[in-house]
Amino acid sequence: MRTLLLLFGVLVIHPLAQAQTWTECNPMEKTCPNNPAFGTSRNFIFNTSSTVTNSFNITAGALKYGTGNAAFTVSKRGDSPTIQSKFYIMFGSVSVIMKAASGQGIISSIVLQSEDLDEIDWEFLGGNNTHVETNYFGKGNITSFDRAVYHPVSFDPQADFHNYSIHWTSEKLEWWIDSNLIRTLPYAEANGGHNYPQTPATVRLGIWPGGDKANNAGTIDWAGGLTDFSKGPFTMEIQSAQITDFGSGKEYEWTDRSGSWESIKAVPGNSTALKVLLKADEPPPPTVAERFAALPSGTKLAIYCGGGGIMALLLSIAFFTCHRSRRRGRLEREAYDAKMEKERDEIQKDLMEIRAKGFTSRVTGTIQKEESELEKFESTSEYGASPPHASTIQTHPQISISNYDMSTGNPSPEPENTNNSIVQNKSNKQRFPLEV
């Protein structure tokens, strides 16, 4: 990263400069929470969002994921997508396979930074495809600006993917490109070790517009000039990041405010970051088919037999239920037929009585019509339905012979006192009660 002096000046003017360099709590100034340790080694493949979100925080923009990489893109002013690890490493190595973004004023970067502003950098200027930059800072020291080194390369870092590595111990700091060591910083050469990065650091990967017109003149000049956003978007691509923590334990504790590596204590326990990774590595629960396939042959046979028995039981129950329903239905049908036969016999009997007593065709025709309707219903209706005019056929109102004139066959006026007994009317003609 360009000198912290430039960045601090930019912070006052424009918040974009916080893209890679900031601190939440400086342990050299006050008591801060312990730093969660990584305590392991992991190769992060940047082809899915879960790879990032499980172990990194995303700031100032979104990432896009392809088949084998993640794209960090600046499309407009205000964009500076960056990820920061949720864990810290206390000495270690970081190897990132990436392709830098092109574009004047656009900065692609790999940064290790601690809470007291120790910092180790790889930086790629979008307007320079012949050199790459390495840099470092210790405890935010900005008394000199001669720590950055620009290394010539035989390839275009904006056109091809290459492996950019940092190897960091308490004795020395190394920068590598692919398998080539390009820079070494011994501990003593960093102001007697005072400016040597030596406290727990997060890993930050991202892109930001150093050439934004809101930045100060020094930052814009270092970035290679003003950025023309109309020529965007500008994209840095990362395939993977191999991160190894040389420390171990659950957390890193700052035992004093000296900022020296000797003052950092590893708290024993299981790393939270490692737990997250192990959980993410767990295979999904097996499906029912997969669990069945894994069973021994004998167990499968027992399941088949048990399933066959259950099926036989179900079929037996179904057969019994069907048989009982059919039997009950047959009995109900027989009862219904008997009832209808009885009613038909009663109607026939009434009809014979009426004919025997010499009633006219008007009365007998009505009864014959009802008899015909009943026979028609019995021949066409489905079981369980009620016959048409059921109230007429099944319950017949009393028809008194007194209602009819025996000589004419026409209804005659109702007498004042009638009952079901045999009486004489004024014409001395007999009347009989009759149920049809």
| Residue 390, in any domain of the structure | no
pLDDT at 194: 93
CA 204 to chain centre: 29
The answer to whether residues 369 and 401 belong to one domain is no
| SS3 at position 268 | coil
Q: pLDDT tens digits for 223-274?
A: 999 999 999 999 999 999 999 999 999 999 999 999 999 999 999 998 888 8
The tens digit of pLDDT for each residue in 171-227 reads 999 999 999 999 999 999 999 999 999 999 999 999 999 999 999 999 999 999 999
Judge whether 137 lies within some domain.
yes
427 and 320 housed in the same domain: no
Q: Which of 220, 250, 282 is the last residue of a domain?
A: 282
Note whether residue 421 is domain-resident.
yes
- One-letter amino acid of 391: S
DSSP annotation string for 8-72: HHHHHH-GGGGGT---S--TTTS--PPEEB--SEEEEETTSHHHHHTTEEEESS-EEE-SS-EEE
Residue in 123, 133, 237, 253 annotated catalytic: 123
Domain that holds residue 436: 397-436
Q: Are residues 30 and 164 in the same domain?
A: yes
Report residue 127 CA to chain centroid gap.
Answer: 42
The catalytically annotated residue of 24, 29, 115, 119 is 119
Q: Are residues 218 and 259 in the same domain?
A: yes
Give the pLDDT score at 420.
Answer: 43
Instruction: Determine, yes or no, domain membership for 123.
Output: yes
Q: Residue 47: inside a domain, yes or no?
A: yes
Tell me: do 111 and 61 sit in the same domain: yes
DSSP assignment string, 350-390: HHHHHHHTT--HHHHHHHHHHHHHHHHHHHHPPTTPPPTTH
Whether residue 351 is found in the same domain as residue 432: no
Q: Which pLDDT value is given to residue 141? A: 85
- Name every residue whose Cβ is closer than 8 Å to that of residue 339 and which is 6 or more positions away in sequence: none
Number of domains into which the chain is organized:
3
Q: Which residues lie below 8 Å from residue 193, measured CB to CB, with a gap of 6+?
A: 187
375: annotated active-site residue: no
Q: Catalytic annotation on 262? A: no
CB neighbour list of residue 253: distance below 8 Å, 6 or more residues apart: 34, 264, 265, 266, 267
What does the alpha-carbon distance between residue 223 and residue 31 come to, in Å, rounded to a whole number? Answer: 36
**Model's pTM, two decimal places?**
0.64
Length of the chain: 436
Q: What is the pLDDT of residue 202?
A: 97
pLDDT attached to residue 374: 62
**Which tokens is 211 given?**
């050439």
Residue 209 in any domain: the answer is yes
User: Is there a domain that residue 392 lies in?
Assistant: no
Where among 249, 282, 315 does a domain terminate?
282
Binned average pLDDT, 10 residues per bin, the chain of 436 residues: 41 39 85 96 92 89 90 96 96 98 98 96 98 96 86 98 98 98 98 96 97 95 97 97 96 96 95 79 60 73 74 75 74 82 82 71 59 64 48 44 47 48 41 40
Residues 57 and 100 in one domain: yes
Spatial distance between the Cα atoms of 135 and 115, rounded to a whole number of angstroms: 18
Predicted local confidence at residue 298, as pLDDT: 76
CA atoms within 13 A on the CB side of 115: 25
Q: Taking Cα atoms as reference points, which of 174, 67, 81, 68 lies closest to residue 120?
A: 174
Residue 350 shares a structural domain with residue 405:
no
391 within some domain: no
Sign (positive or negative) of CA dihedral 240, 206, 271, 267: positive
